């Protein structure tokens, strides 16, 4: 009995726990703000609760950052707004996701986190598209080029055919000049044989200028005239080739089906590239699943983490505040019914006084806490 009294006396004489140190670390305060955590209540909670609330805030900031990247990359790829507008729109979207996540992870009811996976799937899908376009860009460009050639197959063949005809015409003129030059050399040989009287097949063998010599001379002059005409045709063709090629190219540009590299065309080409290979299709799903897992981490942590003392403190404070507000409301109602013409403090004003007025050590608990006994 004496030992029991001594033990009780020792317990009563123990000093109370030191008051909690206020949380002043800027990084911790930022994480608490992101997770909608009250630093005043978190300071008196366990380290486990503080770490959990900080982790929730970290995942909220990660989700907001990914939302900003998703909006910025997607709008940059679509190219429908200016650069400065893209940043502001992306910031607005990130602020929206940040507000949603803060409400979800800061909610006292875990069922609020059930809606987050749907939003996570949407964000990851939006972010996956520009990421895949960046990763598969060479293959997407190849697919666009292949589609362009397929759409303009007949136009390209017509252009090549017209250009080939110009080359064939020039080659024919050059070949004609070569043949005529050969004929001109043959007639020159005949003239030489007739002039000296050299015997041979089809030669007179008589030296001097005779009928055969004059005929050969006339034929040589005719061939030379023909060479000059063909050369003039070749020169005209060479001068007209650049303009003719430009005309054919202009006609091709009018008839061609131009390729587009906007977001819709690149996304369509991306779908063909991904479905053309099992490896690329698997990689696309891996990227989407990884981003979705990161996006859902905050909600998963909220759903499966056990309850902690911080949540109990928040619930207790809410219940206490609700009880005080209800009681003050009932008293104000009765006073208003008894003396409606007398002005009195409103419920909000009385509640503010209750919440922020210093507490005197009037109760046994406060007296023991103040004296340390």
Q: Which two tokens stand for residue 36?
A: 């909608």
Q: CA torsion sign, 177 to 183 to 186 to 187?
A: negative
In this prediction, residue 373 carries a pLDDT of 52
Q: What's the pLDDT tens digit per position in 45-66?
A: 888 888 888 888 898 898 888 8
Residue 165 has pLDDT above 60, yes or no: yes
Residue 147 has pLDDT above 80, yes or no: yes
Q: CA torsion sign, 285 to 286 to 289 to 295?
A: negative
Higher-confidence position of 87 and 368: 87
Location of structure tokens 């900003």: 68
Residue 277 has pLDDT above 50, yes or no: yes
Least confident interval from 101-105, 223-227, 357-361: 357-361
- Angstrom distance (rounded) from CA 217 to CA 225: 12
Question: Cα angle at 215 between 210 and 218, to 5 degrees?
Answer: 125
Q: Residue 53's CB: how many other CB atoms inside 10 A?
A: 27
CA distances from 165 to 239, 245, 349 (A): 16, 11, 96
Q: How many residues does the chain have?
A: 373
Least confident interval from 120-124, 205-209, 274-278: 205-209
Average pLDDT over residues 205-212: 64
Q: What's the pLDDT tens digit per position in 1-37?
A: 444 444 444 445 555 566 677 888 899 999 999 988 8
Predicted confidence band of residue 208 (pLDDT cuts 50, 70, 90): low
Q: What's the pLDDT tens digit per position in 308-335?
A: 888 888 888 889 889 989 998 998 889 8
Average pLDDT over residues 148-168: 84
Higher-confidence position of 27 and 199: 27
Higher-confidence position of 202 and 310: 310
In this prediction, residue 80 carries a pLDDT of 61
- Angstrom distance (rounded) from CA 287 to CA 131: 9
SS3 string, 196-226, reads HCCCCCCCCCCCCCCHHHHHHHHHHHHHHHH
In this prediction, residue 287 carries a pLDDT of 85
Percent of the chain with pLDDT over 90: 4
**Mean pLDDT taken over the chain:** 79
């Amino acid at each position: 009995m004496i030992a029991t009294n001594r033990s009780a006396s020792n317990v009563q004489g123990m000093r109370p726990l030191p008051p909690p140190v206020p949380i002043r670390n800027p990084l911790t305060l930022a994480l608490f703000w992101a997770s909608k955590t009250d630093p005043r209540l978190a300071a008196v909670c366990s380290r486990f609760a503080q770490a959990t609330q900080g982790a929730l805030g970290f995942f909220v900031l990660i989700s907001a950052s990914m939302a900003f990247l998703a909006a910025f990359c997607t709008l940059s790829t679509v190219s429908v707004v200016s650069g400065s507008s893209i940043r502001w729109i992306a910031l607005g979207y990130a602020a929206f996701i940040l507000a949603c996540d803060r409400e979800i992870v800061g909610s006292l009811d875990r069922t609020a986190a059930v809606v987050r996976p749907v939003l996570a799937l949407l964000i990851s899908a939006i972010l996956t598209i520009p990421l895949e376009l960046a990763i598969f860009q060479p293959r997407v460009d190849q697919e666009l080029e292949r589609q362009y050639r397929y759409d303009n197959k007949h136009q390209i063949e017509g252009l090549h055919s017209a250009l080939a005809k110009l080359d064939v015409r020039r080659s024919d003129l050059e070949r004609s000049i070569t043949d005529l030059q050969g004929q001109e050399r043959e007639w020159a040989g005949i003239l030489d044989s007739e002039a000296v009287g050299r015997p041979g097949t089809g030669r007179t063998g008589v030296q001097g200028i005779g009928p055969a010599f004059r005929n050969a001379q006339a034929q040589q002059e005719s061939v030379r005239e023909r060479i000059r005409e063909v050369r003039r045709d070749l020169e005209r063709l060479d001068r007209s080739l650049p303009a003719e090629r430009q005309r054919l190219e202009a006609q091709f540009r009018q008839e061609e089906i131009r390729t587009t590299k906007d977001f819709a065309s690149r996304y369509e080409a991306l779908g063909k590239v991904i479905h053309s290979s099992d490896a690329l299709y698997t990689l696309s799903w891996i990227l989407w699943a990884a981003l979705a897992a990161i996006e859902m981490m905050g909600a998963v942590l909220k759903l499966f983490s056990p309850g902690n003392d911080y949540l109990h403190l928040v619930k207790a404070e809410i219940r206490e505040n609700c009880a005080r507000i209800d009681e003050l409301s009932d008293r104000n109602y009765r006073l208003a019914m008894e003396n409606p013409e007398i002005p009195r403090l409103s419920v909000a004003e009385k509640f503010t006084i209750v919440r922020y007025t210093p507490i005197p050590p009037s109760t046994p608990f406060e007296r023991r806490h103040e004296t340390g006994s």
